[in-house]
Structures are given as structure tokens and as C-alpha cells.
Structure 1
Amino acid sequence: MKTGGTAILRRTLVRNRGRLGIGTVLVCLHQVAETLVPISIGVIVDRAVATGDVFALAVWLCALALLFLVLTAAWRYGARFIVVAMQNEAHQLRMEVAHRILDPRGVRTDLRAGELLSVSTSDADRAAWIADITPRAAAALTAAIGSAIALLLIDVPLGLAVLIGTPVILGLLQLAAPLITRRATDQQAAVARASAMATDLVSGLRPLRGIGAEVSASRRYRAASRDALGATLHTAKSSAVFAGVSMTVSALLAVGVAGFAGWFALEGRITIGELITVVGLSQFFIEPLGVLAGLPGFLALARASADRLALVLDAEPLLPAGSGQTLDGSELSLTGVSYRSLSGLDLRVTPGELLGVVAYRPQDAEALAALLSGQVPPDRYDGELTVGGVRLADADLAHARRTLLVEPHNGDLFSGTVASNVTAGRPGATASEVHAALSASAAVDVVEAHPEGLDHEVADRGSSLSGGQRQRVALARALVAQAPVMVLHDPTTAVDAVTEHTIAGGIADLRHRTAALDPTSPTVAGRQTTILITSSPALLSVTDRVVVLDDGTVAGEGTHSQLATENANYRQAVLR
């Protein structure tokens, strides 16, 4: 269901109507009490001070004290209700954006990770301002109307000046709201782009240092940060000019009302007490009028952030819902598939097969891994991809993820322990299964290298481990999942040759040879299939068959030994 920025703001008011209703009533009561303060002082002057009535003075002073008590209590509890509503709404919006981003079906959006982070934090907070803007507007209007009524009772021209002048000023200032909205939107977009670039820089810092590109990357980030700063200053300048003009006009109206009241007092049209009331109301009136004048600017900022939230909340799912079919078996087939650099690719992997895929062009390997991951919507590729005879796009998404597992070349680890990372895909794995996966991935030494063993703490993205350790732990996590079909894309690029041979044998033993030798193994019935997209001779040597990709299609196939003997291009690509 489409929401849009305006609908998001409206929904915020509706679902917080309880707290906001109580809070609005209380802050309006506070403004009524504020309005009554100068009126009470004027009455005290006319009825007690001017007449010398001590009893009346005592009574009115007690009434004034009670008024201040009501004023303070109403503001305290009213503000509490409003702040709770605003903070709860900000949290709710953050959760909605996070839920949308983490939707297993994905989200169609051009926003990068840093931009999504900005939307889920600063934009969510700003959009929640509507829960504060609305009660403030109601309270300011209450104060303005109350002041106008009091001035009308004292002198009709004074009251009319306020009643007519206030909407005229607000209407003129409202003309600037669209400009502030546009500039606020541009500012948020620029800040989000800088955040996205910073996120990319942090995650790719090591590769950048490896190729000596950190200077160029920092130059690009500096330019993006400068653009964000310029947009922020531009928005701040517009808001400051708007606030300055609105406050100046409000003050001029208040001064004009007070000046006329002084003139009327000299002519005897109003009493001294009424003059004091008018002057007090004029000074008090500046605040609510300033609030009313400044609210369009805040509303523009909230609307701009709500529009950015709608970019995520209104985004269509990346993957279709599917028909809910289950994938039965571990046979994988690609028929006439064209995607990115792949062109009419035909590939069939039989159940239980350990297949190697060598791509002469890296983009072919990346395209194949991306396609098999199930993250590519069917409208972005031609041809048919099936698992167990069922189109992957038609399968139940959760079941498809359990059946077909693709471990990317750069797998991320999570903050936690080695154990929590290894069992992330299958929390119910037994100790023996975890140990078998650690042995097959040569990750046992990662555990043994630390006194805490499996309880060793892992920092976010595995930054506390070396590249080879991260790669092996990620491989162990994939092996523990025991997916019927598993695809590994260059799983050993960060390890030495000896460890690579150990891993090659471990993968083959764990997923194929052990199951074949042990009839009681639970993997026999499923006939686990493994696809190794790699150019590593150690990994290719344990495969049953190797398929060679060139120019996006199958250019040859056979065993590793056959291809190494008969195919010169294969030898050059693999036996380098």
C-alpha cells in the first residue's frame, strides 16, 4: 500500500491520538493560564491597588498563585505526553524502515546502505516532529485567540488588529514553506549520500589501501561532504531568515498593539489596569505568534523527511511472492539464461554432484553467483532457473533459502562469538556437526588460537579476525547449514596453498564422500549438490566435473585433469 510523506505524517497523528489528545489539551490549558496572568495583574491593579482594598488584594494574589500552579502542572504533564508520543513514533518509524529493509524479498530502491541508514535515523526522528508540531500549533492558536478575545473585551480595535493581523502574517509566511521543504529535501539527500560514501569507505578500507586508492577515495568523500555541508548551510540560512522575519513581524505587531494601548490610556479610553493587561498581553503574544510563524519551517522539514521515508516504505519488493511451492531435490538447471554478462547459458547440475565452474571473465562468475543467490528478480533475467524441477521464482522464499545456499566471495561476519557466527544459519546444529564444519573449512585453528575457543568474541564484520580467518569461519557457517544445494564463490582466496588443499578435501569429504560411505548419514537421502565457482586448482581437483564459461556461455566441460591436459586456455587460467 502506498503511503507518501503526507500519509505518514497523518498516520503518526492518528496512531498517537490518545497521548497527543491529552497532551494538546494540557498545553492549551497552559496557554490559557499564561493568557490569564497579565489579565489577572490588570484586575489586581484596578480592583485592589487602585482602591486600596487589602482583602481583595489578598484574594486576587491567591488566585494568581493558583493560576501559576495550574500553569506549571499543565505544561509539565502536557509536555511529557507529547514527548513520549514523539519518541515512540520515532522508534516505530525506525522499526518500520528496518523491517522493510530486512524484508527477505528485498526492496526496490536506488538508495545505498549509508542513505538507508540516514533515512532510518535522522529522517525518522524528523518525521516524528509532527507529534510535537501539532500540539504546539494548537497551543499557540489558543494563546492567540485568548489574547484577541481579551483585547476585544478591553477595546475592539485592539482585538481586531490581532485577529486580522495574525492570519495575514501567517498566510504570507506560509508562502516560504515549499522553498524550505525543497532545500531540506536536498540537504537530507546530500547528507545521506555522504553517509553512504563513508559506509562504503569504511567497509572497503583494506582493499583501497591494497591498491593505493585511499587518496582518490578520500578526495571523493571530501567533495561529497562539502556538498552536504553546503546544502546544510543553505537550509540553515533559509530557516534562519524565515525565523528572523517571522519574529520581527510578530514583534512589530505586538509593539503596535502596545503603542495604541498607551495612546488609548492617555485619552482615558482604558484604565491603568487595562493598559497593564494590554502591555502584558502584547509581550506574551510575541511568543505564540512567533511559534505559529516558525511552525511552517519545522513542518517543511518534517514533510521532507517523511517523503524520504516513503521512498523506502512505498518501495516494491524486489522478489515476487511466488506460489509457495517447495523445492524437492537437489538438481539445479539453467536453461537459456541471460543476465548481465551471461548469454543464453545452459547448465545442468545433477543431484549429489560436486561441480566446478571456471569463468575466464570475472563478470561471468559474479553474474552466475548473483543469479543463483535468488536475490535477482525474475524480470531482470531471461531464461529459466529451476531447483528440483521447480522454478526458483515460484518457490516459497524461506524454503528456497534453506534449499539453495550461496556463500558470496566476501562473506560478512556478525558481532558475537565464533560459535554464534558458525551456527547463525542453523542454531540447532550439534557440537559434532559444528566441529565437522570447522575441520572441513580448516577453521579449527581459529578456535584453538584463542583461550575462549568457540566463545571468542568477534567484532562487527569480523574486523577482529584476519582475512583468512574470516573466510574460513564464513565457510564453516555455510557448511553447518547443510543446504541441499550449496554454491561457493572463490571461498579460499585469502588462505595459503596448504590450507587451500585442506579445505578442498574437507568440502568434498563432508558433503559428498562421507555421506556416500556412511549409509546412515542424513545427507544421503538429500544427495547434496555443491558448486564451486573458482579458478583454484586445489578445489577443482576434487570436483566430479568442471564447466568452463567464456563470453557468458559454456565453452567446455570435463574433469579437471582432462581440461588441464587438453585445453590451453584452461591451463593458462587455472595452472598459473
Structure 2
Amino acid sequence: MAAGGELTASAVQRRILLRQRSRIGVSVVFLCSHQAAEALVPVMIGVVIDRAVATSDTRALLISLAGLALLFTVLTFSYFFGARLGYAAVEHESHHTRVEIAGRALDPRGLRSGLRDGELLSITASDAELSSLVIRAVGIAAAATTALVVSATALLVVDVPLGLGVLIGVPVVVLALQRLAPLLTRRSEAQQEALATTTALAVDLVSGLRVLRGIGAQDHAARRYAAASAHALGVTLRAANSKGLQQGLTTAVNGLFLAAVAGFAGWLALEGRLTVGELVAVVGLAQFMAEPVGTLGWCVQLAATAKASATRVGRVLGAAPLVTPGDAGSAPASDTRLALDEVGYGTLDGVSLRVGAGEIVGVVAYDPRDADALVTLLSGRVPRDDYRGTVRVDGVAADTLTLDAARGTLLVEQHDVALFEGTLRTNLAPARTAAADSGAPADSAAVDGPEAGRDDAALLAALRSAGAEDVLEAHPDGLDRELTERGANLSGGQRQRIGLARALAAAPPVLVLHDPTTSVDAVTEGLVADGIAAARGTAPHGTLVITSSPALLRAAHRVTVLDGGRVVAEGTHDALAAADARYREAVIR
């Protein structure tokens, strides 16, 4: 474990190899058998020449040919099974790592990785697979080493000085090539980092494209992306140049070494110390050895790439949770459902407010940063050490609640609505439909029996309260209407109202809404305000609406005004609008 809670690249690679040890072990056995058989081919040919061709022995020739056929059979099937198991190990591990990364990214406690969504996407899509290539590097390196050991042993049998020269020369060549590994790793890391940053920027730009067009910043955004893309191209080319240099040196050094081996063998043949068959075997082995030596050089590249990606994977898997839940359960409903006492976080400075049972409280923040800080704090994404004061839900400090208690009591509906591919029903009631899909008998009965009708009635009521009946009525499938990814087949206002309906259908004890009507017209906004008042304006519900909408503020029982991170006014919407010019300017449309 590295400093800051990250898993080191070595730790990630050890986990990968241990998880896939069975497949890797069997794969290595087959791959090593394949390379051993390949190394024995020139040896067998030399034996055939000396024992059968030179002696004109037909029986020996037939036996030799049968032996060659058996050798090639072993060679072929060994590679087939070894490669198949090796690739299977890589794919299984890539999938396992992707699922693990997704699990950490979706952890309700949050993640202290410092990575943006686009970077997490890049790590999940690319680095998870690249880090698993250490499996191939290990298997192929073991096979190449086996080929060199068998070749060197055969050369020792033919001539001891020749065999010793190979046994000494090959490690020297490999160690010399290994000197480039740190450079390859650094440049591979820089390449992956630049690609992830560019991907993250692309995700941000695409998701905020409408906003960028609205403020006329699309040209600036395009230039920023072009600069990031150019930087990614530059570091990719540098990484490619390093790999090309390493590959060129491997080829050159390998060629010179093998030329020396072949030349020395030829001199021995001229001296009469080698037979024709032995010379053929030595020359064949010298040519064959170019492959495993080159393979070891390629494994250096592969290992460097895998290590760079493993470093990035370890940054996610080893990141500490953003918040640490407590062990307290939810308390019985109290008259004060939500209370903030002298809270300081971000731009907030000593904010105190109360939301009682059956009460809808509006919050107007003159500075949008105050609203964002309040939403972030209430959504449970802020570590206890990062804010001052106390947030209480039914009299219990929010930071002492378990995850289940906190999520079951307090729900924050973000301004940016997240809809998923599936039906309207699955988006409105994801918990129930997910449980039904799991195959649990009790839940299946609920979906198919009378309980399903009652649940659908609740969803329809939530849609009415959110002013989203038109989404239902505009399609013949009703609640079974299919939504595309991120609700792309809906308008912005429809997506926003579906998100609001989902929050209302959940019926949490305490609901926090952040600008739930910014994408709807004034008439619909009034309907939504009336719907929220009807659905949430009675005990035991408590509702906090952070907005500047006059319709929603008028439906609230009282309004709290934030300015400079502090509470500066409180009262009904009408009273504040009549008495405060700045308030009127902020909310009257």
C-alpha cells in the first residue's frame, strides 16, 4: 500500500496473478511445452541427418519422421491450449477488475481518488484490460525462457564452450534491454494519464454542451479540448518512440549475438569438431533463438504498459472512502426532521436552519456556491472533519448514522437528473424493480400480484405531483415506456420532472430538492409547486427546497435566505418579497 491509501502497481499485479493462478499455471505449462518442442525441432532435424540421411538407413528415417510428427503434434496442441487459457485468464481478470473499479466508483461512501468521472471511465475501459496484460507477460516470458534453456542445453551437449557462451550471453542481452524498462513505464504512465484526462474533458464538454452553447463558450471549450488532445498525441508519440527504440535495439543486439553464435559453430565445423547434423542443429537453434530473445524484449514493453495501467488501477482500488459512516440507526420521527446548527463548509459560514415535520422550507442562495455547498453537505459526500457544526436528522447527528439509516431517512435529489436505460417504471422505482429482477419469491409475488397495482398507483400519483403526466400519456406503453441512456429520448424538462417524480415516489422522511423546475415553463412550474405541496406538506414529511422559483417559494411554509454563506433573512415568500428589494430581484420573474 502506497502513501495516501493507493495500492502500488506491484500490489495490483500480485492480486491479478494470485486470482488467476490456476489458469496461469496450466497455461504456462502448455506454453513452455510448446517452446521446448519448438527448440527441439532443429535438434531433431540434425539427428535425422546424422542417423538416417548420412547413413542411408530407411528404418531410422521412418522412425525419425514419426518422431518429428509427434513433436509437431505436441507443439501445436500445447500452443492451442496454452494460448487459450492465457487469453481466458486475461479476459476474466479484465472483467473482474472492471467490476471492482465500478463497485468502488459506486460506493455510497464516496472515494478519495481525486479522479473525475471521465478518468474513472478511462481506467475502467482501458487500464483494467491493460493491467491484466501482466498475465501474458509472465506466461510468454516463462515460455521464452524455457526455449532459451532448452536451446542452451542442446548446445552444451553439442559443444560445451558454445553452450556456455549462449548461457552467459543471453542473460547479458536481456539485462541490457531491461535497462529501458523504467523509461518505458514512465512514458506509458504519461500516455495513459493524458488519454484519461482528455477522455474526462470530453465527457465534461459533451454533458455540458447545451450550457456552453447557451453562454457562447463552445469555441473556448473546443480550443481547450484541442490543446488536451495535442498533448495526448505528443506523449503518445514519445511513448511510441521509446518502444520503437527498444524494439530496434532488441533486433540489432539479437542479430549480432546470433551471428556470433552461428559464426563460431561454422568455425567448429571447419575444424571437424561438429558433424553436418550438429552444424545444422546449431545453425537452426541460432536462428530459432532470435524469437525467444526478441520475445523477452517485447515482454519488457508489455510489462511496462501493464505496470503503468496497474498504477492507475491501484489509485482507484486503494483509495480510502470519502466518508466514514457511523453505527447509529435512524431515530423515531421528531417534530424537527432536519436541523443544521452553526454549519460551516465551503462558502457556508455558521448556517443554522430547521425543517419541521409536515413543513416545506425554501432556501434562496444569492451566491450559487452556497446552494452547491449545502446540497453537497446534505448528500453525505463531505467527511466529518471537513465541515464545522452539526447536521441532525430526527435529533441524531447525520455523521453517526449507518449508510442504510442515512439513505433511508434523507434523500437529496440533485439538479442534474440521472436517468438510466430501461423503462419508465424501472427509473421511478429502481429498488423494487431491481429486487424483482433478482428472482426473490416474495418480491416476485409483489410485482405480479395486487401489490403491483398499489405500487403503480403510487408511481402515477408521484408523476401527477411532479407534473409529469404528459410523459406517461405521450406514449402507449405508459409505465413500460422505454427510456434510452440518460433519458436522451426525453426533453430536458421531462427528465427533470421524472427525477422529481422518482424522489416523491420514494417518499423519504426528509427530502432535499435542488432547483427541480429550471427546465419547465411557468404554468408547469405552478402545477409542480402545487403537487409538491400536496405530496410533502403534511406530517411526518420534512422538505427542503433550494431554489429561486417564486412558485415553489410561495408553496413553502417559510423561506430562508443565504447571503455570503450566512442566514440573513427568514419568513414567508410574500413577506420577504414585500420587504426586501434584493430578494425580489433574485426571485421575481
Question: What's the TM-score bracket when you normalise by the shorter of the two chains?
Answer: over 0.9
Q: Is the 8 A contact 2:330 2:409 kept in 1?
A: no
- Kindly indicate whether residue 450 of structure 2 is the aligned counterpart of residue 444 of structure 1: no
2:431 is aligned with 1:431 = no
Q: Per-residue CA shift, 1:439-490, capped at 9, x if unaligned? A: 1111001111122222222121112111111111111011000000111111
User: What's the CA shift for 1:492?
Assistant: 0.8
Are the counterparts in 2 of residues 327 and 400 from structure 1 also a CA contact under 8 Å?
no
Aligned letter for 2:426?
Answer: S
TM-superposed CA distance for 1:425, in Å, is 5.3
Matching residue of 2:448: none
1:539 aligned residue (534, 539, 552) = 552
Aligned partners of 1:324, 1:152: CA distance in 2, in Å? 73
* Aligned with residue 228 of structure 1, among 225, 232, 250: 232
Amino acid aligned to 1:448:
E
Q: Which position in structure 2 is the counterpart of 1:352?
A: 358
Bigger CA drift: 336-345 or 2-11?
2-11
Asked whether the equivalents of residues 89 and 128 of structure 1 are also in contact (C-alpha less than 8 Å), the reply is yes
Determine helix, strand or coil for the equivalent of 1:541. helix
Native 8 Å contact 2:347 2:370 kept in 1: yes
- Shift of the alpha carbon at 1:566? 2.0
Distance 2:367 2:65 in 1: 89
Q: Give the counterpart of 1:33 among 25, 33, 37.
A: 37
Alpha-carbon distance, 1:575 to partner:
2.0
Deviations 1:92-122 (A, max 9, x none): 1111111111111010121111111111121
Question: Which residue of the other structure, out of 178, 183, 187, is the alignment partner of 1:183?
Answer: 187
Equivalent pair of 2:329/2:402 in contact (CA under 8 Å): yes
* 1:409-420 pair list within 5 angstroms: 409-420=415-426
The code of the aligned residue for 1:301 comes to T
Q: Give the distance between the partners of 1:480 and 1:23, measured in 2 at CA.
A: 53
The whole-number CA distance in structure 2 between the counterparts of 1:402 and 1:18 is 43
Structure 1 distance, partners of 2:431, 2:461, is: 15
The whole-number CA distance in structure 1 between the counterparts of 2:215 and 2:574 is 35
Structure 1 counterpart of 2:170, one-letter code: T
- Rounded to whole Å, the distance in 2 between the matches of 1:26 and 1:401 is 52
Q: Give the aligned partner of residue 116 of structure 2.
A: 112
Amino acid paired to 2:267: W
What letter corresponds to residue 222 of structure 1 in structure 2? A
Following TM superposition, by how much is the alpha carbon of 1:498 offset from its aligned partner in structure 2, in angstroms?
0.8
Compute the displacement of 1:364 (Å). 1.4
Unaligned runs of 5+ in 1: 517-523
Q: Distance in 2 between matches of 1:321 and 1:454?
A: 36
Query: Counterpart in 1 of 2:75?
Result: 71
Structure 1 moving runs of 4+ over 6 Å:
none
Q: 1:551 aligns with which of 564, 567, 578?
A: 564
Partners of 1:194 and 1:262 lie apart in 2 by 56
Matched, 1:87 2:91: yes
User: Which amino acid in 2 is paired with 1:422?
Assistant: L
Question: Per-residue deviation at 1:153?
Answer: 1.1
Asked if 2 retains the 8 angstrom alpha-carbon contact of 1:324 and 1:397, the reply is: no
1:339 maps to what in 2? 345
- Within-5 A mapping of 1:198-213: 198-213=202-217
User: Deviation per CA, 1:15-53, whole angstroms, max 9, x where unpaired?
Assistant: 211111111111111111111111111011111111111
Number of aligned residues = 564
Q: Distance in 1 between matches of 2:200 and 2:104?
A: 18
Q: Distance in 2 between matches of 1:536 and 1:528?
A: 21
| 1:168 to 2:172 alignment | yes
Matched residues, percent identical?
52
- Pick the aligned partner of 2:329 from 317, 325, 332: 325
Q: Distance in 2 between matches of 1:209 and 1:565?
A: 36
Cα deviation, residue 147, structure 1 = 0.7
- Is contact 1:327–1:395 with CA below 8 Å preserved after alignment? no
Q: What is the TM-score normalised by the length of structure 1?
A: 0.96
More off after superposition, 394-403 vs 309-318: 394-403
Distance 1:249 1:327 in 2: 74
Aligned CA RMSD, in angstroms, stands at 1.4
CA 1:327/1:309 → structure 2, altered by over 3 Å: closer, same or farther?
farther
Q: 1:327 deviation in Å?
A: 4.0
- Which consecutive residues of structure 2, in runs of 5 or more, have no partner in the other structure? 434-451
Per-residue deviation, 1:389: 0.8
1:152 deviates by 1.1
| Distance of 1:434 and 1:543 partners within structure 2 | 23
Question: C-alpha distance in 1, partners of 2:44/2:168?
Answer: 25
Note the C-alpha offset of 1:293: 2.3
The answer to whether structure 1 residue 470 and structure 2 residue 474 are counterparts is no
| Alignment of 1:376 onto 2:382 | yes
| Counterparts of 2:26 and 2:269, CA distance in 1 | 41
Match of 1:498 in 2: 523
TM-score where L is the length of structure 2: 0.94
1:569 shift after superposition: 2.1
Cα distance in 1 for partners of 2:418, 2:79 equals 50
Of 83, 99, 112 in structure 1, the residue corresponding to residue 103 of structure 2 is 99
Map 1:391-402 onto structure 2 (within 5 A).
391-402=397-408
* Residue 328 of structure 1, CA deviation: 3.2
Aligned partners of 2:188 and 2:308 also within 8 Å: yes
453-462 vs 418-427, which deviates more? Answer: 418-427
The alpha-carbon deviation at position 426 of structure 1 amounts to 5.3
C-alpha distance in 1, partners of 2:58/2:301?
Answer: 49
Is the counterpart of residue 510 in structure 1 residue 514 in structure 2? no
